[in-house]
Amino acid sequence: MSRLFDVKDVDRRFYQERLKGFLPEKIIDVHAHVWLKSFRKAPPTGRAVTWPLHVAEENPVEDLIETYELLFPGKSVKPLMFSFVESHEDDFKAANDYVSCAAREHGFAALVFASPQWSAQRLEREIRQGAFLGVKVYLTLSPADIPVDQIRIFDFLPHHQLEVLNERGWIVMLHIPRSGRLRDPVNLADMVEIERRYPNAKVIIAHAGRAYCPEDVGDAFAVLSETKRLLFDISANTNAAVFEQLIRTVGPRRILFGSDLPITRMRMRRICENGNYVNLVPKGLYGDVSDDKHMREVEGEQADALSFFLYEEIDAFRRAAQATGLTPEDVEDVFYGNAVRLIDPNEGRA
């Protein structure tokens, strides 16, 4: 059987030398997407980047499991998983049914991909029927007449849904909107409001608030230092300086490992140029990327040295953990313990 993607010497060395000893034996990945391409009907909306689809058109649960085996040999990795829905024309029902069945079959945890158009009752019914632990929401599902830069969190995660999520103590995976990313004052105010008004909802800010470059930070960490509960996943972020500030601000108990697979099985290294992140990728590997300001092709030695996006993410966190003096127990919390307490509070109390 041919494998899903190549693991080369450069990857094996990266894993052996920098990651294997740093990572605990058991890992929970709180941010993994599984879907089949047949669920997605609509072309991209222009509200989200398109480069991720060059890496994988779909990610069946079997591919996710194979990816864990290829990337983390010798470790046990389990996901908190959800679908990948970007448009109201996509098939929510098929997408969520697929995740629910896959979760049941493999004993994995899962979130429902929620539409902001759902009533509170509908949301509660969908979560209970699918045995989900909460919701994944996404900005592209906001009402169509809102310009992309003016989308607010409550446009795609409405208050009536937050009320029910709060009441039940359910999980919310939240990718914040707006081009200002983490430093955006509207985002920060809305995040603080969510923590204050919905203290029982378990809100995870994805990708460390999309602060991929130093320019994305602003005074975000000063504002966030006043929060007590918001959680942050490190998925698809490779910025060690941002992780360092995050650790110093919220501590290791509020940080969770997430992969954002399948996009992070991409072979790449990320740089920042004047506040814009650029993914350096081997020439020709991911189709025509010439019109994407976040993608740049490299060749020769530079291309040969590239390993996986997910390895770059974990290595950046490793460097931040070292700089802030995290203990192995702290690291185990980030990669496992915090997620166990989130997903299975009874087990976490033991």
CA distance 230 to 192: 9
- With CB under 5 A as the rule, give the number of residues binding Zn ion: 1
CB of 156 to Zn ion, least distance (A): 14
The residue with its CB nearest to Zn ion is: 260
- Alpha-carbon span 280 to 148, nearest angstrom: 26
Least spacing, CB of residue 85 vs Zn ion, in Å: 11
- Look at the block and give the residue holding tokens 């975000």: 220
Which listed range, 147-155, 240-248, 254-262, 336-344, lies at the site for Zn ion (CB under 5 A)? 254-262
Kindly state the smallest distance separating residue 349's Cβ from Zn ion, in Å.
29
Type of residue at 338 = N
Nearer to Zn ion, 11 or 233 (CB): 233
Nearer to Zn ion, 82 or 332 (CB): 82
Nearer to Zn ion, 11 or 260 (CB): 260
Q: Which helix (DSSP H) or strand (DSSP E) does residue 255 occupy?
A: strand 255-256
The residue among 82 and 326 lying less far from Zn ion, judged by its C-beta, is: 82
260 touches Zn ion (CB under 5 A): yes
What is the nearest approach in angstroms of Zn ion to the Cβ of residue 68? 16
Which CB, 252 or 262, lies closer to Zn ion? 262
284 CB neighbour count, 10 Å cutoff? 11
Give the span between the Cα atoms of 248 and 221, in whole angstroms.
Answer: 9
As a whole number of angstroms, the distance between CA 199 and CA 177 comes to 21
86 binds Zn ion (CB under 5 A): no
- If DSSP states are collapsed to H, E and C, what string results for 41-94? CCCCCCCCCCCHHHHCCCECHHHHHHHHHHHCCCCEEEEEEECCCCCCCCCHHH
Minimum separation from the CB atom of position 347 to Zn ion (A): 25
Q: What angle do CA 227, 229, 232 make, to 5 degrees?
A: 95
Q: Which stretch binds Zn ion (CB under 5 A): 17-25, 224-232, 260-268, 326-334?
A: 260-268
**DSSP states of 12-48 as a string?**
HHHIIIIITTTS-SEEEEEEEE-B-GGG--SPP-SSS
- C-beta of 260: minimal distance to Zn ion in Å? 4
Q: Which range, of 69-77, 210-218, 255-263, 313-321, touches Zn ion by CB under 5 A?
A: 255-263
Q: Please give the residue ranges that form the binding site for Zn ion (CB under 5 A).
A: 260
